[in-house]
Structure 1
Amino acid sequence: MTDIPPRSFYNNFPWPESSPKQKETIADAAQGVLNARSRFPTSSLAELYAEAAMPAALVGAHAALDRTVDTAYTRRRFSSEAERVAFLFERYETLAAPLAPNLGKLASRHKLKSRTAFHLGNSN
């Protein structure tokens, strides 16, 4: 497993246009996650984020952060994590489209090639 720098997560998706107040609210919610983690100084991140054993304080802090970030992107509420991720990928594709006009064609060719290789018994 590769070590991922903690700040890299925030760089995965284009940040929404947001007011200074929204940025402050998001920073406060992110600090809430860090504060919740600090309540368990002897636990590793793997222990803290084990799905079955995640402390309620950390679950709540992440839920608050998610809601706060969500409102910076859209007024709509997401019914699931999958819906949130789909929204973010759609936004990314929209923003990236002018940068790579042939990206869709390349992706389609790659999917076709991958499917063909898979059906021929070659998963590479």
Structure 2
Amino acid sequence: MALSWNEIKDRAVRFSKEWKDTTNEEADAKPFLDAFFEVFGITRKKIGTFEHRVKKLSDADGYIDLLWKGTILVEMKSRGKNLDKAFQQAIDYTHGLKQNELPKYVLVCDFHIFRLYDTEEQTTVQFTLDELVLNVQSFGSILGYQKKTYKEQDPANIKAAELMGKLHDRLEEIGYEGHPLEVYLVRILFCLF
């Protein structure tokens, strides 16, 4: 059963408090990521693998810290390490993935700073561990939520609708009504578009 956003936020607050002093990639990355996914009600073992081996462009082996195929690639670093280098490392790993394994998101994290990159929209969200509670919805698509964007109506469409309404009313006033009127207006509309 999916968690509510309020429950996810409560879990994010507890997670942030529990992991606030964590710093070491080698010792803490795996339990940190297991606990991170639990914030969203996701059991990491069901969705992703640690140390996923890939061939880099140099033909050397590389190991992705965590890969949820088609969804997210995570590269962890010890606190204070360069996240720009971590991001480049993560992108280099994608060259060794099959098309269906390419992630929608790349997350680089040093236990304090989270940097989430959306590969489709090419946008980045960055926040600290303390700000996770304010940014949990950035991970909405891993929970199956989709972002919808609505745009304003084109002014030409609004004007055209007003004119069609006036034409309808005027034709009705002079006795042209019912089904023949509706068919006539649909045909005019069809010709316009």
Q: TM-score range by the shorter chain?
A: 0.3 to 0.5
Give the structure-1-normalised TM-score.
Answer: 0.34
Pick the structure with greater CA Rg: 2
Q: Say which structure is richer in strand.
A: 2
Query: Higher relative contact order by CA 8 Å / sep ≥ 6: 1 or 2?
Result: 1
